[in-house]
């Protein structure tokens, strides 16, 4: 009896051990399957840094731009120029003519030459284009003032003091005009002949234009726009809105353009002329 019980206990122990071995085998198999199905571990990635926007460049100070432009005008050696009217004209009482456009060259040493498109009119109130067209030419040197007769076209030589424009300090007077612009406002950038220019608006006393034959009136204020080269800070264009003198219409708008700045220009007096200098 004792042996029978002993054998029964041994068989039960062996069955228990066998069951445990199967359970461990099943557990190991399930673990292996779980690892195989899970695949490789997901790599840890560093967080993407948030880009920092660049600090915007502040716009230039329009007053400093005008100051630099005026300084460069004072150092100007030569240029080509054009004066034209969007509306209005320049009335010249001595000739009873209205000038609508002028173009020419200027050199700080040689002087200047000028071609003027004008119309003979009976008075300042008459529209320019209704008059008789004529072209007036002039050459101004340090020694003489040459001009064509409005009717015959013949060249006449006169003393330099007869010149209507102070050619020897033309750039200095233009610089004073730029420096005299008040309440300047930067209007952005524009392209002039393929070059970028700052546009600045403000106002200036009309008396700063007394070097032009405009007969400016005391107390008159002109609205002005200045275009100055972004890189060189050189004057490229002026736009003057409003009357300057007594002969101007209220809606007069003038433009002055500079090209070939500090380039080569040649001022050539005429070979034949009538000498009125008395020399």
Decide if 186 is inside a domain.
yes
Same-domain check for residues 88 and 203: yes
Is 51 within the bounds of a domain?
A: no
Q: Could you tell me if residue 156 is inside a domain?
A: yes
Same domain, 252 and 196: yes
How long a stretch of residues is the chain?
279
For 8-65, write each residue's pLDDT tens digit: 445 655 665 455 455 545 554 444 444 445 555 556 666 777 777 777 788 899 999 9
Residue 44 lies inside a defined structural domain of this protein: no
Residues 159 and 107 in one domain: yes
142 and 14 both lie in a single domain: no
Same domain, 208 and 162: yes
Whether 115 maps to a domain, the answer reads yes
- Domain presence at residue 117: yes
Q: What is the mean pLDDT of residues 211-240?
A: 93
- CATH number assigned to the domain comprising residue 257: 2.50.20.20
- pLDDT by residue (tens digit) across 63-90? 999 999 999 999 999 999 999 999 999 9
Q: Which tens digits make up the pLDDT trace of 183-210?
A: 999 999 999 989 999 999 999 999 999 8
Question: Do 4 and 70 have their domain in common?
Answer: no
- From residue 240, alpha-carbon distances to 11, 33, 105, 254 in Å are 120, 88, 21, 5
- Tell me what the pLDDT averaged over the chain comes to: 86
Both 79 and 3 in one domain: the answer is no
Segments forming the whole domain that contains residue 22: 1-38
Let me know whether 27 and 78 are in one domain: no
Between 156 and 94, where is the model more confident?
156
Residue with tokens 């009538």: 274
Count of structural domains, the chain: 2
State in Å, rounded, how far the first CA of the chain is from the last one.
167
Is 263 domain-assigned? yes
Asked whether residue 56 is domain-assigned, the answer is no
């Amino acid at each position: 009896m004792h042996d029978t019980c002993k054998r029964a206990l041994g068989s039960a122990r062996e069955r228990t051990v066998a069951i445990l071995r199967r359970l461990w085998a099943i557990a190991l198999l399930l673990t292996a399957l779980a690892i195989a199905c899970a695949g490789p571990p997901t790599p840890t990635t560093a967080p993407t840094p948030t880009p920092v926007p660049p600090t915007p460049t502040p716009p230039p100070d329009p007053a400093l731009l005008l100051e630099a432009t005026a300084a460069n005008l004072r150092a100007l050696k030569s240029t080509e120029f054009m004066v034209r009217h969007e509306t209005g004209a320049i009335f010249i009482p001595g000739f009873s003519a209205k000038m609508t456009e002028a173009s020419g060259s200027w050199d700080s040493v040689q002087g200047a030459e000028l071609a003027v498109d004008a119309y003979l009119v009976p008075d300042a109130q008459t529209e320019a284009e209704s008059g008789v067209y004529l072209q007036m030419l002039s050459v101004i040197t340090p020694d003489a003032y040459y001009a064509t007769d409005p009717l015959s076209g013949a060249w006449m030589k006169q003393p330099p003091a007869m010149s209507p424009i102070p050619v020897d300090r033309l750039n200095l007077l233009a610089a004073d005009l730029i420096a005299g612009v008040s309440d300047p406002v930067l209007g952005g950038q524009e392209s002039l002949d393929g070059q970028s220019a700052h546009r600045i608006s403000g106002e200036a006393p009309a008396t700063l234009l007394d070097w032009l034959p405009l007969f400016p009136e005391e107390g008159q204020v002109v609205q002005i726009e200045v275009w100055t080269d972004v890189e060189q800070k050189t004057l490229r264009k002026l736009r003057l809105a409003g009357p300057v003198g007594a002969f101007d219409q209220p809606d007069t708008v003038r433009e002055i353009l500079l090209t070939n700045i500090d380039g080569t220009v040649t001022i050539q007096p005429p070979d034949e002329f009538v000498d009125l200098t008395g020399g």
